[in-house]
Amino acid sequence: MSPLPWQTDRWRKLVELQDGGRLPHALLLSGPSGIGKQPLAEALIARTLCRDPGELACGECHSCRMLAAGYHPDLLTVMPAEKSRQIRVDAIRQVNGFVAQTAQQGGYRVIRIEPGEAMNVAASNALLKSLEEPGDRTLFILVSDTPSRLLATIRSRCQHWSLAVPPLEVAEPWLRERLGNGDEARFWLSVAGGLPLLAEELAGAEARQLRQDLRELFDALVRGGEPVGEAARLDAQSLDRILWYGIAWLEDLIRLGLSGDPSRVRNGDLLPLYRQAVKNARVRDWFRLLDYAREQRRLLAAGGNPNPQLVLEAWLVRWSALLRS
Ligand SMILES: [Zn+2]
C-alpha cells in the first residue's frame, strides 16, 4: 500500500509527524472523489499498525500480514451498511466500545470512517465523545468527499488534510502508464477535471460506453429529439454518473458562453454540440439547470432514494427544453 505519486509531499509530512509522535489523534482526509484519498488512508493505516515501519509499512510483520489478509483486530472500518447511505448511531457505539479497549497487538488502534459525511446527526454526536477523549495510541481517520457536510463540531476535532487536484505533469505519466497511451491519458484527465483515479475509471470500457451514449443523446436533443423516449435508452442505475456528466457539460457550456474560448472546455470532442447549444440558450439558464442537477445529485447521495427513472426523465426534459429553445 503506497501513496500515489502526487501525494509524496503529503506522505513525507505524515511520516515526519508520526515518527515525531506528533500525529494528531484524528485526521480528516478530504478531496473530490477520484483524487486518491483511499490509497493515502490505507498507506497510513498500514504504517500505523506496522511493527517495523520504514518509509512505508514493512509488509512482512505479523500486523502487516493480518492487514493484507483482510482482518486486523486493531482496525475498525465504518462504512454505510449496504443499500443504506447512512452511518447510524449503532455503528458509532461500536466505535466507542472499540476505543475503550486496549489494542490487541499492543500498538495503535485505528478507526476509519468513510465517508465521514454519511454519519447522521445522532452518529456524529455519539462520535464526539471518543474524539474528545480518545485515549492513548488511537488514530481516527475520517475520509470525506464533501467535508462541509460534516458537523462543524466533528471537523473542529480533526486535523484537516485537504487533497488538491494534482498537477498534470504528475497525473499524466501515471495515467499514461495505466492506459498505455498519452493522448488517451490527456483526454480522460481533461474529462475528469484532472482527477486521476476518476479519469482511469471513466476510461474503462463500460464507463466509456455510457459517455458515448450520452453524447449521442445530447446530439439527438440538440436536433429536437423527444426527451422521454431518449431517457428510455439509458440505464437509470447510472443516474449519478449521468448527472455528473450533465454537470460537467453544463460547466463547459458556461465557460464557453462566458469566455468564448474553446480551449477552456474539458470535453473538447463536444465543441460542435456546445456551439449549437450556446446559440439556443442564455448563460443564466445554464446556471439554473446546473443548480437543478447539483441538487438532484445531492439528494441522490443523501439517500433520498427518488425514483431514478423519473429523475432521469425530468432531467432530460429540462435539458431538452433549453437545447431547443
Ligand atoms: Zn509491518
DSSP for 260-286, please give it. --GGG-S-GGGHHHHHHHHHHS-HHHH
Q: Give the span between the Cα atoms of 279 and 257, in whole angstroms.
A: 9
Kindly report, residue by residue over 129-141, the tens digit of the pLDDT: 899 988 889 999 9
Respond yes or no on whether the N-terminal peptide bond of residue 115 is cis (omega within 30° of 0). Answer: yes
Q: Measured in angstroms, how far is the CA atom of residue 54 from the centroid of ligand 1? A: 9
Over range 263-272, report the average pLDDT.
95
pLDDT at 53: 96
Q: What domains, with CATH codes, occur in the chain?
A: 5-162 (3.40.50.300), 204-323 (1.20.272)
Q: What is the mean pLDDT of residues 59-78?
A: 96
Angle, alpha carbons 176-115-174 (nearest 5°): 10
- Distance in Å, CA 70 to ligand 1 centroid: 14
Q: What is the mean pLDDT of residues 172-193?
A: 96
CB-CB contact of 297 with 240 (8 Å): yes
Mean pLDDT for 72-96 is 91
Cα–ligand 1 centroid distance for 14 (angstroms)? 17
Confidence bin at 127 (pLDDT 50/70/90): very high
CA–CA distance, 135 with 156 (Å, rounded to integer) = 18
Q: What pLDDT does 177 receive? A: 97
Q: Taking 90 as the threshold, does the pLDDT of residue 51 lie above it?
A: yes
pLDDT for 131 equals 93
CA of 99 relative to ligand 1 center, distance in Å: 22
Give me ligand 1 centre to Cα 94, in Å: 26
Confidence of residue 325 (pLDDT cuts 50, 70, 90): low
Query: Per the structure block, which three cell numbers stand in for 308?
Result: 431514478
Locus of grid cell 431547443: 324
How many angstroms is it from 53 CA to the middle of ligand 1?
Answer: 6
More confident residue, 146 or 324: 146
CA of 219 to the centre of ligand 1 (A): 54
pLDDT band per the 50, 70, 90 thresholds, residue 105: confident
In sequence order, which residues have a C-beta less than 8 Å from that of residue 37 and are 6 or more positions away? 29, 30, 31, 143, 163
Burial of 305 (0-12, 13-18, 19+ CB in 10 A): exposed
Mean pLDDT, rounded, for 30-55: 96
**From the CA of 49, how far away is ligand 1's center (Å)?**
7
CA distances 65 to 36, 58, 72, 103, 250, Å, are: 23, 10, 9, 17, 47
Where does the pLDDT of residue 117 fall: very low under 50, low under 70, confident under 90, or very high at 90 and above? Answer: very high
**What's the rounded mean pLDDT across residues 275-287?**
87
Residue type, 227: P
Distance from the CA of 2 to the center of ligand 1, in angstroms? Answer: 13
- What does the pLDDT look like over 202-234, one tens digit per residue? 999 999 999 999 999 999 888 888 888 877 888
| C-alpha to C-alpha distance for 91 and 105, rounded to whole angstroms | 23
Measured distance CA(129)–CA(123) in Å, rounded: 11
**Ligand 1 midpoint to CA 159 (Å):** 25
pTM listed for this prediction: 0.91
Is 87's pLDDT higher than 70? yes
Q: How far apart are CA 282 and CA 289, in angstroms?
A: 11
106 backbone φψ class: left, alpha, beta (φ>0; ψ -120 to 50):
left
Alpha carbons within 13 A on the beta-carbon side of 297: 17
Residue in the structure block whose three cell numbers are 450556446: 278
pLDDT, one tens digit per residue, over 148-158 is 999 999 999 99
CA of 10 to the centre of ligand 1 (A): 21
C-alpha closest to that of 217 among 290, 166, 277: 277
- Residue 241 pLDDT more than 70? yes
Q: How far is the CA of 71 from the centre of ligand 1 (A)?
A: 14
Where do we find the cell 490527456?
A: 186
pLDDT surpassing 90 at residue 278:
no
Strands 159-162 and 26-30: parallel
